[in-house]
Amino acid sequence: MAEGIPGITIVGMPDSTVLEARSRIRCALRSTSFEIPRKSITVNLSPSDIKKTGSSLDLPIAVAILALSKQIPREGLEGSLFLGEIALDGSVLATRGEVPYQILAREMGLDLVGGEMGEAVSLPNVNRYYVQSISAFRGGKDSWAALRVQPQFRQRTPAVSLDYADVVGQEIAKRGMVIAAAGEHGLMMIGTPGAGKSMLAQRLCGILPPIDDAELLEALSIHSVIGEPLEDLLCGRRPFRRPHHSLSAAGLLGGNRPVRPGEASLAHGGVLFFEEMGEWPSHVLQMLRQPIEEGVVRIIRADGSYLFPARFQLLAASNPCPCGYLGDPEVECRCTPAAVERYQAKLSGPLADRIDISISVMRPSAELIVQGSEGMSTAEMQAQVLEAREFRSARIRRAFRSFAPDASTSAEASIRTLEFNEDGQSTLLAYSKRNLLTARGIVRLARVARTVADLSHSASVTSEHVLEAAMFQGRARA
């Protein structure tokens, strides 16, 4: 603030929304009986090489101007992080993306001061204060410090999840879901319309282990940044994303300007479900290979690089042919052999080497639906998954003296470390030769067999485990 032509200048690569703060702040100061300093005011947003976006900078700019012009006490302002949009009448509004600010405030040991809670989450060990208007700063910290928001990280009401007991006549498919969840394997379902592929997919989150605080915090941050609802996450439900096949690569992985996370990151900690896999453009799916391997999405732009977490359970579904009725006992397929071959070639294209399990899902008979017989429930399946993961963790700790939490580690990718007994190794070799599996295909089969053994609490992989894993390989894939 210096002598010169009165006005507010904002530097440091602000976007149009940030520049509009000048007009909002002027009107807000007049509405709340503050004086607009008749000086040249320069606001520097550092670092200057990063684009500044959003209206959340309104409140800190206004507070800084009022403090420098000695219209509000400066005591209590230091040690606080201010966040919020200012309306023309001086009221402080909520802004999206507050969760990352709360994390930053906790890491830096600062209080967070903002408007109304637009997102129903307040992290523990963060002093979050609520101010209705900038006029609240006139009386110093005592006038707004009493309005502290109580921490609310997890809601007590548990999420009501869909139950696998409602899915009739798909016990083999349910077993495949258990294996996929226990070993974090990618899974593909191929079946006719009405077979229950979507019902099976929507219930997968319910058998995954409960989301822990670290995963929840990352998921909340991602959803908060783009303004997604947080209620399901706060209830403990893992994300389930079901993007449409018309989605662009930027929508799937992230991008645009300003850069924002895509569906892959929104599925972090949960399930990313590709319905009608054959309809997706190959080049879009091909771009998922790196996020699946590394668990992150890297976006490089001229103004910098961006890193978004993207560790998810990959799930896909498809019809067996363009019309969907190939192999259906009741409806005749109308596709030509050439059309079927082209369609199935698309399914074995991108991401095929990231899908360890393939399940054929057939429509249940009318008699079975009328009888309504119940099979495995979500609770029973989740119990199996939790026990298998605990067994695997203990086995890996014993073998490698270090904890490797996911099935994609290099240690678990080596067949030598998967502890096959002699019969299991012989069966694996015979199946691989008979079906002409490549090295990648053999490792894929071996990893699934190891997960089946973990579900059985077996220290070694036997012939029975290999045969069950082979049953979930679909048609033999190289």
Interior CA angle at 279 toward 278 and 285, to 5°? 75
Total domains in the chain come to: 3
In this structure, are 207 and 336 located in the same domain? yes
pLDDT tier for residue 160 given thresholds of 50, 70 and 90: low
pLDDT tens readout for residues 361-383: 988 877 777 776 678 899 999 99
In this structure, are 394 and 371 located in the same domain? no
In this structure, are 231 and 333 located in the same domain? yes
CA distances from 21 to 32, 68, 76, 137, 422 (A): 16, 18, 24, 19, 72
Polymer length of the chain: 478
Q: What is the CATH number of the domain that holds 95?
A: 3.30.230.10
What tokens appear for 240 in the block?
A: 């389930």
Q: What percent of the chain has pLDDT over 70?
A: 91
Listing DSSP states for 230-257 in one string gives -HHHHTTPPPEE---TT--HHHHHEETT
Choose the final residue of a domain: 116, 149, 182. Answer: 149
In this structure, are 132 and 168 located in the same domain? no
Q: What is the CATH number of the domain that holds 288?
A: 3.40.50.300
Q: Is 155 a domain residue?
A: no
In this structure, are 283 and 370 located in the same domain? yes
What tokens appear for 33 in the block?
A: 């009986």
CA distances from 26 to 58, 292, 397, 403 (A): 11, 49, 62, 57
Q: Is 2 a domain residue?
A: no
CA distance 123 to 391: 33
In angstroms, the first-to-last Cα distance of the chain is: 69
Listed residue (114, 49, 23) closest to 301, CA to CA: 49
What's the confidence (pLDDT) of residue 154?
66
Torsion of CA 98, 100, 106, 110, to 10 degrees: -60
Query: Which whole number is the average pLDDT over 286-301?
Result: 89
Q: Is 157 a domain residue?
A: no
In this structure, are 363 and 388 located in the same domain? no
pLDDT tier for residue 139 given thresholds of 50, 70 and 90: confident
What's the confidence (pLDDT) of residue 33?
93
In this structure, are 125 and 172 located in the same domain? no
What's the confidence (pLDDT) of residue 5?
85
What tokens appear for 154 in the block?
A: 């997890």
Residue type, 242: R
Q: Taking the CB of residue 357, how many other CB atoms lie within 10 A of it?
A: 23
In this structure, are 102 and 86 located in the same domain? yes
CA distances from 11 to 42, 46, 63 (A): 7, 9, 17
pLDDT tens readout for residues 452-476: 999 999 999 999 999 999 999 865 4
Q: Is 154 a domain residue?
A: no
Burial 245-281 (b: 16+ CB within 10 A, else e): eebebbbbbbbeeebbbbbbbbbbbbbbbbbebbebe
Choose the final residue of a domain: 347, 376, 405. Answer: 376
Q: Is 461 a domain residue?
A: yes
CA distance 477 to 470: 11
User: For tokens 């070694």, what's the residue?
Assistant: 460
What's the confidence (pLDDT) of residue 407?
45
The angle, 0 to 180 degrees and rounded to 10, between the axes of the packed helices 439-455 and 378-400 is 110
In this structure, are 275 and 405 located in the same domain? no
Q: What is the radius of gyration, based on Cα positions, of the chain?
A: 28
pLDDT tens readout for residues 36-95: 989 999 999 998 888 888 899 999 999 999 999 999 998 878 889 999 999 999 999 988
Question: In sequence order, what are the residues at sequence separation of 6 or more whose Cβ sits closer than 8 angstroms to the Cβ of residue 454?
Answer: 182, 183, 388, 389, 391, 392, 395
Decide: 131 and 86 in contact? Cβ < 8 Å: no
What's the confidence (pLDDT) of residue 158?
58
Task: Provide the greatest CA pair distance for the chain.
Answer: 87
CA distance 137 to 301: 40
pLDDT at 302 over 80: no
pLDDT tens readout for residues 206-253: 999 999 989 999 999 999 998 888 888 888 899 999 999 999 999 999
In this structure, are 327 and 419 located in the same domain? no
pLDDT tens readout for residues 394-452: 988 887 664 444 444 444 556 777 889 999 999 999 999 999 888 888 999 999 999 99
What DSSP state is assigned to residue 44?
A: E
Listed residue (169, 168, 194, 172) closest to 359, CA to CA: 172
pLDDT at 329 over 80: yes
Domain range for 398: 381-471
CA distance 72 to 137: 6
In this structure, are 168 and 108 located in the same domain? no
Query: Which whole number is the average pLDDT over 111-125?
Result: 80
Choose the final residue of a domain: 149, 179, 208. Answer: 149
In this structure, are 125 and 31 located in the same domain? yes
